[in-house]
Structure 1
Amino acid sequence: MSIDIVEILKEPKMTKVCAPMVRYSKLQFRTLVRQYDCDICFTPMILADSFIQSEKARDNEFSTNTGDKPLIVQFAAKNVYDFLNATELVAPYCNGVDINCGCPQRWALKEGYGADLLKKPDLVKDLIYQVRNRIPHPFTVSAKIRLFKDIHKTIDFCRILEKAGASFLTVHARTPEMRCEPIDLNNLKLVRDSVKLPLIANGDVKSLESAENLYKESNCDAVMSARGILTNPALFSGYSVTPLDCIQNWLDITSTIPTQFICFHHHLVFMLEKILPKKNRLFFNSLQNKAAVLEFLKDTYGIKPNNNSKSFDLIKCIFNTSHKKYNKDIAKDDDDLSMNFLGNIFTE
């Protein structure tokens, strides 16, 4: 039986969610956080048009295994065709899709993605409606949004999506113009009181305590963490900093699932941020290859990959694109697929 994410969100407890983080919330990291009480994971934001047009994009941007559930695939899309077709490709391998309506990066706004969609409620309504009517329950279709400066516009936007058939919404309680300012809890609570849909609250979840406080104060159904869980993947288990067994698990996972060095190393840089003394941290951050990283971890903590670690076999995803047509004139060059993802991953 398929997993029903809505039923999970309706359970009388705090549901814990790993955010869609560009370049970082990929299969390896999702596998790690699921070992530490994370209930639902999102993929990184994926450009829907590139995904349906390019085999290379599909291979680079999406992978999964049997333990990778519940899973929501987040897409950036600006027309129904791309969102619907990309959804149909991934539907056999996930439990729902999400449309990004919150990314405030300039490239996204310029291209008509992310927070630019907040100005186009009719389009987002159609995106939700078309997927909802094409793929049956319990598969979910949702949106991740930011707040308008005018809270009444936020409420109206959410109600439009609710009527269109959205399964749930994730609300980052900042406007697109806000960066490191505290979240707007009061307006988040107004949104909660104005719609019947399950809501995931996002913003400033940096510890289990802050997650529980946001859950209680907002009255939302779930909480989502981005920066906090990246720095401490065991956050939802109550650890104040990354425990050494979490680092051990990361070594085991990445020794089984093929992982590029930059991904392998960057996650460790985040995990060790609050553990290593500054001098050691600067040295570790400058390491240039996996052998050097493993040597450092062995010398410093006595940690090395476990040769008898659990296998995390990948699912071979078969994407039937034979009936998909697209305009080759607007197809993106494979080499440019990720060039727009080099900004601040935490702005969304």
Structure 2
Amino acid sequence: MTRTKIDPRTIFSDAKTEGRLVYIAGPMVRYSKLPFRATVRHFGADIVYTPMILAREFIRSQYARDTDFTTNDSDSCLIVQFGVNSPEDLARAAEMVEPYCDGIGINCGCPIKDQISQGIGAALMEQPEKVCAMIRAVKERCPNLCVEAKIRIHRDINKTLRMAESIVNAGADYLVVHGRCKEQRSREPVNIDAIKAVCQHVRAMSNAIPVVANGDVFSVEDAARIAQATGCDGLMAARGILENPSLFSGANKATWGSVELILHYSSAYGLPFRLVQHHVSEMLTHSITRAERKSMNETSNLQELLDWLDERFVLLRPYEKGFGEAIDLPRKCDLNVSTSS
């Protein structure tokens, strides 16, 4: 595989020169697979993450490597995120993926209890020294590889500032801050002031690195508002971009072209049917009725799903003019009414 690398550090540097934000599609378990990554890049994502991969399983099991990480020569700029609590495990995993990615990320924010009980994810928010040891281990083993850490915030903002400072000093290349504590859930708004405090603190350091804000980004308007309020260098979307892969293009809901693209890439690169179905269902949340969504989710394989869509909408294939470009849902009944009138 001949792969063109795109260094995230260069993306941040160029964006700063151009006076723009860096747009990032964040890691989502099961969903940030290759077909989804290709789709969000089409609509302006600068950096895209894999789902979190368990580093220990990845380095020990060929099966885990084959199932957890699939890529191709156009899958860039790509960050492989690991769930990990061992410097040696992370260094070995980073060494394995270095030829096939543009950087690695350390998940310090996953609030799932099972992950925390294993000492990974949000458990690392109480072990900043271990996070720093992992960053240094990767930098020693893979000195040219971009390394990022994604954290949440503490109730005590000073504790978060100290952690951010230690991560910068350990050699991280950029920092992602999710503006909620590990106990908080997505229905609670992110703490904009806390993200702002981290941005200001890191920017004041002599070895400052870019800081990315994460949480509650559901539109480019949200991105602009959060950037204005925090002074961050980039915005990461997860739930918002799952529902609307065309978010960073400025679309207020998933375009029909993005539906065509996710179906195409899923067929071309391979994706389990239930994941394809979930992507399409999420993307059409605001475009079809609840009854239609229920009916669509009752399809049991890809051909049934395509037949269901073809029956109701104009679903273009890659060889047809206009493929991947449509904005609005092209209902066949609407076209019939327009033609007859």
| In structure 1, C-alpha distance between the alignment counterparts of 2:7 and 2:217, rounded to whole Å | 25
| In structure 2, C-alpha distance between the alignment counterparts of 1:75 and 1:22, rounded to whole Å | 11
Letter paired with 1:292? E
Greater RCO (Cα-Cα under 8 Å, separation 6 or more):
1
Letter paired with 1:29? F
| In structure 2, C-alpha distance between the alignment counterparts of 1:35 and 1:9, rounded to whole Å | 19
The residue aligned with 2:325 is none
Distance 1:287 1:2, change over 3 A: closer
The residue aligned with 2:176 is 170
The residue aligned with 1:14 is 21
- Using the TM superposition, give the Cα deviation of residue 243 of structure 1 relative to its aligned residue in structure 2, in angstroms: 1.1
- Using the TM superposition, give the Cα deviation of residue 272 of structure 1 relative to its aligned residue in structure 2, in angstroms: 0.9
Letter paired with 1:258? G
- Using the TM superposition, give the Cα deviation of residue 307 of structure 1 relative to its aligned residue in structure 2, in angstroms: 5.4
The alignment's TM-score, normalised by the length of structure 1, stands at: 0.86
- Using the TM superposition, give the Cα deviation of residue 255 of structure 1 relative to its aligned residue in structure 2, in angstroms: 2.1
Matched position secondary structure for 1:99:
strand
- Using the TM superposition, give the Cα deviation of residue 7 of structure 1 relative to its aligned residue in structure 2, in angstroms: 2.4
Matched position secondary structure for 2:79:
strand
The residue aligned with 2:304 is 292
Structure 1, unpaired ranges of 5+? 310-348
CA contact (8 A) 1:27 1:68 kept: yes
Superimposed CA distance per residue, residues 189-243 of structure 1 (whole angstroms, 9 cap, x where no aligned partner): 1111111220110000001111111122111110000111000100000111111
The residue aligned with 2:331 is none
Matched position secondary structure for 1:200:
strand
> Which residue of 46, 51, 61 maps to 2:53?
46
Mapping of residues 64-83 of structure 1, within 5 Å: 64-83=71-90
| In structure 2, C-alpha distance between the alignment counterparts of 1:300 and 1:227, rounded to whole Å | 27
* 1:156 is aligned to 2:158: no
* 1:25 is aligned to 2:37: no
The residue aligned with 1:4 is 7
The residue aligned with 2:153 is 147
Letter paired with 2:177? V
% identical equivalent positions: 39
CA contact (8 A) 1:173 1:188 kept: yes
* 1:266 is aligned to 2:281: no
RMSD: 1.4
Structure 1 stretches of at least 4 aligned residues deviating more than 4 Å after TM superposition: none
| In structure 2, C-alpha distance between the alignment counterparts of 1:132 and 1:308, rounded to whole Å | 47
Superimposed CA distance per residue, residues 143-188 of structure 1 (whole angstroms, 9 cap, x where no aligned partner): 1000011000000001111111011110001110111211100111
| In structure 2, C-alpha distance between the alignment counterparts of 1:78 and 1:308, rounded to whole Å | 49
Return 163-172 or 277-286, whichever deviates more.
277-286
Letter paired with 1:253? Y
Letter paired with 1:214? I
Structure 2, unpaired ranges of 5+? 203-207, 322-341
Matched position secondary structure for 1:75:
strand
- Using the TM superposition, give the Cα deviation of residue 286 of structure 1 relative to its aligned residue in structure 2, in angstroms: 2.1
Matched position secondary structure for 1:183:
coil
| In structure 1, C-alpha distance between the alignment counterparts of 2:318 and 2:266, rounded to whole Å | 11
The residue aligned with 1:235 is 247
| In structure 1, C-alpha distance between the alignment counterparts of 2:318 and 2:194, rounded to whole Å | 48
The residue aligned with 2:221 is 209
> Which residue of 37, 57, 64 maps to 2:64?
57
Letter paired with 1:136? P
Distance 1:293 1:79, change over 3 A: same
| In structure 2, C-alpha distance between the alignment counterparts of 1:258 and 1:2, rounded to whole Å | 23
Letter paired with 1:265? Q
| In structure 1, C-alpha distance between the alignment counterparts of 2:6 and 2:295, rounded to whole Å | 44
CA contact (8 A) 1:251 1:305 kept: no
| In structure 1, C-alpha distance between the alignment counterparts of 2:70 and 2:268, rounded to whole Å | 14
The residue aligned with 2:194 is 187
- Using the TM superposition, give the Cα deviation of residue 3 of structure 1 relative to its aligned residue in structure 2, in angstroms: 2.5
The alignment's TM-score, normalised by the length of structure 2, stands at: 0.88
